[in-house]
Amino acid sequence: MHPVQKHLFDTNFQDLEGTRIEGTIALSDELINLGIMDFLSGLKSTPTPPASKKNSTAPAAAPDPKALLAKLDIEVLQVSAKEGKILLNIKAGI
Amino acid sequence: MPDLPPPLQTLLNNPQAHLEGTDVRIDLSLGRTLLNEVLAARPADTPVEELFLDPENDNTVNLHLEVKAPVIGLVKRRITFRPGGPVVFPSQPWLHLEITDGFRFMDKPIIKLMQGQIAEKLPRGIELTSDHLRLHVPALLTAAGYQKLVPMIKHLQLHSEANCLVIELHLVA
């Protein structure tokens, strides 16, 4: 893993605090479907950690989704579909 | 370019097609620790011994630099930059950073004397004089393999706050 990516994961994106995003993100259906396939293959290939390692203090390979969501301040999030696209209307910050 | 997840690679191959209809403004706030992690991840085979950034709340950024120079040995400087006006595509592709402080007595004449050699050593798209640092954003994105993102960037500007550097972006596809 790239050291910068590792730093972001280890600190739960703390160094991006103050980041804001506002507007419309349009994603093609092809991209959405590729994302779903990639997510599913990631689930299949991720081994279940042994019970004895659950309390390990080693840094997580990926950020804790709960901790990450707790950092998000979402004012607007609307999803709609239009002619082969998914439109995401968003106003949010970290 | 490193191996990317298939959706991201597909997006980068043709961002205009996969993001058509996008109109989004992003203020990306990069904390001091993160900026210095990025600088620490530089290639090992450079003469730069120490390099770190210290953004201030008056829209200036201090660059602490320690370089092994031929003949004169180790050179330490704290150079202060002030980000200039916005990059607006396609009419104004340069990101301009004015050097407001940090050079010592003989630095500026030496830089002026060696201007040609400095230009030859720097990557395409980076221009350093005794007064400013300029980055040609399309050239740098092209060199990094992201040239297809260039037409999407309608506005790009830097400003600094205490301990963070903010990149203001307006992306349209």
> Tens of pLDDT along B136-166?
999 999 988 889 999 999 999 999 999 999 9
**Residue B133 · residue B33 · CB < 8 Å:** no
The residue-averaged pLDDT of A19-40 equals 93
Q: Residue B1 domain-assigned?
A: no
B18 reaches A (C-beta below 8 A): yes
**Neighbour-count burial of B137, counting CB atoms closer than 10 A to its CB (0-12 exposed, 13-18 middle, 19+ buried):** middle
Q: pLDDT class for A62, splitting at 50, 70, 90?
A: low
Give ipTM to 2 decimals: 0.79
Q: Residue A49 domain-assigned?
A: no
Spell B11-36 as b/e; 16+ CB within 10 A means b: bbeebeebbebbebbebbbbbbebbb
Domain containing B63 equals 6-172
Region at B71 (left for phi over 0; alpha for psi -120 to 50; beta for the rest):
left
Q: Residue A51 domain-assigned?
A: no
B43 reaches A (C-beta below 8 A): no
Q: Residue B57 domain-assigned?
A: yes
**Residue B50 · residue B36 · CB < 8 Å:** no
Residue contact B7–A20, C-beta within 8 A: no
Residue contact B10–A37, C-beta within 8 A: no
Phi, psi of B108 (to 5 degrees): -65, -45
Our CA-based measurement puts residue B31 at a distance from the nearest CA of chain A, in whole angstroms, of 5
pLDDT at A56: 47
Q: Residue A57 domain-assigned?
A: no
Q: pLDDT class for A51, splitting at 50, 70, 90?
A: low
Q: What total of structural domains would you count in chain B?
A: 1
Q: Residue A23 domain-assigned?
A: yes
A73 reaches B (C-beta below 8 A): no
Residue A59, pLDDT > 70, answer no
Chain A and chain B share a number of CB contacts under 8 A equal to 87
Q: What total of structural domains would you count in chain A?
A: 1
Spatial separation of the C-alpha atoms in residues B9 and B134, rounded to whole Å: 29
